[in-house]
Chains A and B, each alone.
Chain A
C-alpha cells in the first residue's frame, strides 16, 4: 500500500454480529484501509475497540456500548446517538457524536477527544487521567447527569448546556466528587450544593481560554453552530482544592 494513499470502504452492517464487524475493521485496517463508512449500525458493541493509527470511521445509526474503548488514534464520527461507555480508557483519537450519549463516557480516558452534540447520562468523565502531553477532553453540548467528573485525576471536561430548558440543572449531583486533577468548564451556573467537597468554583483566566477556545471552535465547526452563541454565556471553572484530598487519612 503506497504511503499516504486514502483507501475507503463502505460496509452495510445491518444485522451484522459485532465480532464479525470488528474483525473486518481490524483486518481491513491491517490491509491499509484508512476510511470506513458503516451503514445500518444498530447496537453493535465495541466498534473501533483497540484500533490504532490514522483511521477515519463514519458511523450511521446507533452504535452499542464501549464505542472506541482502548482506542489509540482513529477518528470516529457517529451520525446518530451514542450509548454507554464511549471512549472507555481511550488513549488517543477523536469521537464525535451527532446526538445524545449514555452513561460512563470516557472512563479512565487518558488522551484524545470526545464530543457529544447533545446531553449525556451519569458518571461521565470518571477517573479521567492526564499524563505529560496526553490530556483527554470531553465536550458535552447539552447537560450531564450525576457524578460528572467523579475521581477525575486530569484532563478537561466541558458542559455547554446549549439545549438546557429553563430551570433545568446543567449537571446532576455530586459534580467533581473526589476530583484531584484536571478542570471542568461549565457554561453557566451550578448550585453550590451539588459540588463535591474536593472542588471549588473559579472564574476563567487567560490560560483557561487558551485551552478552552480550540475545543469550542471544534464544537462549533462539527455541529455547525455559531461560536458567538456558545460564548454568549459566561463560563465557570471547577478545579480541585487539593491534589492530596486523602493525604491525611491514615496513621502509621
Chain B
C-alpha cells in the first residue's frame, strides 16, 4: 500500500559542495540520513529542525517546504489533510509538541505602550537606577510597625516572599519532557539571574539540589517524585492543576521515555507509563484545594509560598478568586499559547484563552474583591520578548514565566516534535547520544544572556514610561492603548483605544 502522507519538507543537498563528512548523518535525531556512496536523505522523516543545516561545514544542505505536495486549498490546508491521513491509518489521537501555532488574534501585538514626552520627562536608565526587583508571595492588607529599643521594627507577620531580581522566571518543564542538561542549564541560569526555575511535574533530580533556593517544585496529580525531601529542596511549592497547552488534560509520559534516571527522579519503575491525569482525585472543590495547600504549608513549616498553576480558561477570574481564598500565595496562569512536551493537537489548538485576556480578567476580579494583594500573579503562555513582558505586567501580572523562549535560547528551532523524543538539539529528548549535545554551561550562558537582555529592555521601557520601578508599572493599564480591537476586547483588557 502506498504511503498516503507525502513528505512535508524536502532536504536539498548540494552534492558539489558535500565532502561526505557524514556530520548530517550523525546529527539527525530523526534518522533522515543514510550513507552509501553519498548522503541520501529520507525526506518524509525530516521535521525541519535544522540541526543538519547548522552543522554542515560546507553549507551544502537546505531544507525547503515540499512545494505543491497538495493541491492548494486555504480551507483544507496541508496540515488538516495530513492529520486526517494519520488518523485514518492509526485510530489514535494526534499528538504534538510546543505551543498552539494557529493564527488566532494575538493581543500583545494589539497593545501599545505609552511613553513620556515634554512635561512628564522620561528617565535615562543608563544613568538612573532602575528597579526590577519583584517579590512573589502574599502581601498583608496593611503593615504595622513598632518601636523596640529605639528601633523601628515590623509588627506584621509577612507571608513568605521570594525575591526575583527581574520579573521573569522559567516555566515548568519536567525532566522527562526535557533533558537533564537542559534542567541543569535552567537551574544555573536561575541562580545566576536571581530568578526561579520550575521542575514541572517530573520530580527533582538530585543534581539540582544545590539550586534549591531557586527552584519551584510541582505537586501534580501523579505526585511524581513528591516526598518530604523533594519539598525541602525548593523555594516555592506549586500545585499543578492545569497547563495552557492542554487545559483539562493531564500529563502522560509514555513508558519508553521512562529510563533509569527519569524513573529514579519520578520514583516509579523503569518503563512504566507516568500517568498524571488532569484531576487531582483528592481535589473536587476549593475546600479540597485549600486542604492540599495547607498540607503543603504544614509540610514546609509555613516557610515557603505555595503556588497554584492553572490554565487560562473561560471562567478564569472566578477560579482565581477561589484559589486566592483557598490560601494560595501565588496564582500561576498559563495561556493557550503555552508550550508542551506533548499534548493532543486538538486540545492544544482549540481549548483555553489567550493569557492577555486572562491576566486582565483575573486582576480586575481580585481588585474588585479586595484580595489582589493576597496573591501574586505569574503569567505564562507565549512570551516572545520583553515588550510582551512589559504589557503583561501593565495588564496586572506580577511576573511572567517563559518556556519556549528559554528553549529557543538553548538552541531549540521550534520543529514542534518534542513529543517524539528525538530532539536533535539534545533538549526535548532522553536519548543519551542526543542529550550529551547540550552543554549545560553553554546553555546556561545563553539563558543568562537572554534574561539580561530582556531586563535591560525592560529598564529602557520603564525609562520611556518615566518610571523607575517595575512595581509602578504593575496593573497600570492607563499606560497601554489598544489598536485594532473591538469595544468588548478593550473593555476586557481594561485599556483605551489608541488615540484616546
Contacts and interface: CB of A to CB of B under 8 A. Distances in A.
Contacts of A69: 295, 298-299
B299 to A, nearest CB: 4
B272 A50 contact: no
A108 B222 contact: yes
Which range contains the number of A residues in contact with the other chain? 35 or more
A104 B223 contact: no
Given A49-B298, A88-B295, A129 B223 contact: yes
Given A49-B295, A129-B267, A244-B255, A70 B227 contact: yes
Interface stretch (A6-14, A145-153, A164-172, A205-213): A145-153
Interface residues of B, number: 44
Interface string A29-71: 0000000000000000110011010000000000001100111
A127 B224 CA distance: 10
A220 B340 CA distance: 50
Contact of B272 (A26, A89, A110, A180): A180
A70 B92 contact: no
Contacts of B268: 129, 131, 153-154
Interface string B281-309: 11000000001001100111110000000
A155 B442 CA distance: 42
Nearest to A134: B267
Nearest to B302: A19
A147 B94 contact: no
A246 B252 contact: yes
Interface string A58-90: 000000011001111000000000001100110
Interface string B385-419: 00000000000000000000000000000000001
Contacts of A249: 92-93, 252
Interface string A157-200: 00000000000000000000010110000000000000000000
A107 B223 contact: yes
B298 A180 contact: no
Name which of B93, B252, B269, B419 has the most chain A CB atoms within 10 A of its CB. Answer: B269
Interface string A129-142: 11100100000000
B5 to A, nearest CB: 11
Contacts of A252: 86, 95, 419-420
Given A50-B228, A181-B272, A45 B294 contact: yes
B221 A127 contact: yes
Contacts of B86: 251-252
B273 interface: yes
A247 B271 CA distance: 11
Interface in B236-285: 252, 254-255, 263, 267-269, 271-273, 275, 277, 281-282
A247 B273 contact: yes
Contacts of B222: 108, 127
B206 to A, nearest CB: 14
B92 A247 contact: no
Contact of B281 (A49, A50, A147, A251): A147
17 contacts: A22-B298, A46-B294, A46-B295, A46-B298, A50-B299, A52-B228, A85-B295, A107-B281, A107-B282, A129-B223, A134-B267, A153-B268, A153-B272, A181-B272, A244-B254, A248-B92, A250-B419
Interface of B: 86-87, 89-95, 219, 221-223, 226-229, 231, 252, 254-255, 263, 267-269, 271-273, 275, 277, 281-282, 291, 294-295, 298-302, 342, 344, 419-420
Given A46-B295, A110-B267, A248-B92, 8 more contacts: A26-B301, A66-B298, A70-B295, A107-B281, A123-B281, A123-B282, A247-B273, A251-B91
The 10 closest A-B pairs by CB, nearest first: A108-B223, A251-B92, A50-B299, A251-B90, A250-B95, A91-B227, A49-B298, A46-B298, A131-B267, A104-B282
